[in-house]
Amino acid sequence: MGTQLGHVYRQLTFKPKPLPPDIRLDGQTAIVTGASAGGLGFEATKELAAHGLAQLILAVRHIAAWIKNLEVTRAKTGHESNVQVNHLGTAHLSLLLPPILRATAAHTSRPARLTVVASEAHFWTLFSERHAPSILQRLDEESSFKPGDMERYNTSKLLNILWTRGLSSRVAAEKNGSSGTAAVTINAVNPGFCASTLEQGGHCLTDAACRHGDQQGAYISEQEVKAVSGFVTSVEGERAQKRLWDETIALFQELDPFLDLGNLLEA
């Protein structure tokens, strides 16, 4: 798992399956980010809608928005674009959602879901920025960017995995009433490498969002729970995960001194 040769093999031999017809989403609401026309998110929305959603919210930055992975660009915030879109934007939204998800879980008596789109590419980054005094500051420095390869994109997907694990560990203890089940289920999914217009990639997203409810902080690939990279579960990886969490939270609190993390992350 995780080698590029293995990735190619799985791409050629595995075909994602659509949601079974008996999975119904009647009365439920879904928010899908990155759901611009032609993207994987948009393909996922079509499948979710077909299973009876009551409300479907498409959260789109711009209908033609995309990142140049291979050259240095900066978001309006000043941060490097891969880090801003794939990590900081995702992390900020994920911090704002738990109170809403907890309320939903209490109302429906079943866990609410938060699914982060990661990638098998998290196996393939050297992540040398972890050795810097500040991970996020180093990622923003142009000298850390390697034009012409996918290293920065791969790193941003590793940040997705580290953040998902950190966030899920902080909400895992929250239970839904007397049922004893988790109030909020948070997992990461690898959609595979595919052309954005292929609905099969969307099947991976909907599978992760609607199934695997007994998992928490899991990495779902080929519609099954799989092991993350060895680095993620190593002592060094756990240290990097904590540093990334602390640096990200500090950045958000600097931008918004009134951000109440106690309210966001605790029942």
Q: Which residue, among 214, 114, 130, has the nearest Cα to 165 in the 3D structure?
A: 114
- Residue 155 backbone class (left: φ over 0; alpha: ψ -120 to 50; beta: rest): alpha
**Structure-token match 């999914």, residue found:** 189
Q: Which long-range contacts (CB under 8 A, 24 or more apart) does 139-147 make?
A: 139/79, 139/80, 139/83, 140/78, 140/79, 140/80, 140/83, 142/72, 145/72, 145/80, 147/70, 147/71, 147/72
Give the largest Cα separation in the chain, rounded. 54
Q: Where in the sequence numbering do the catalytic residues fall?
A: 119, 153, 157
Yes or no: say if 143 and 225 are a contact pair by the CB < 8 Å rule: no
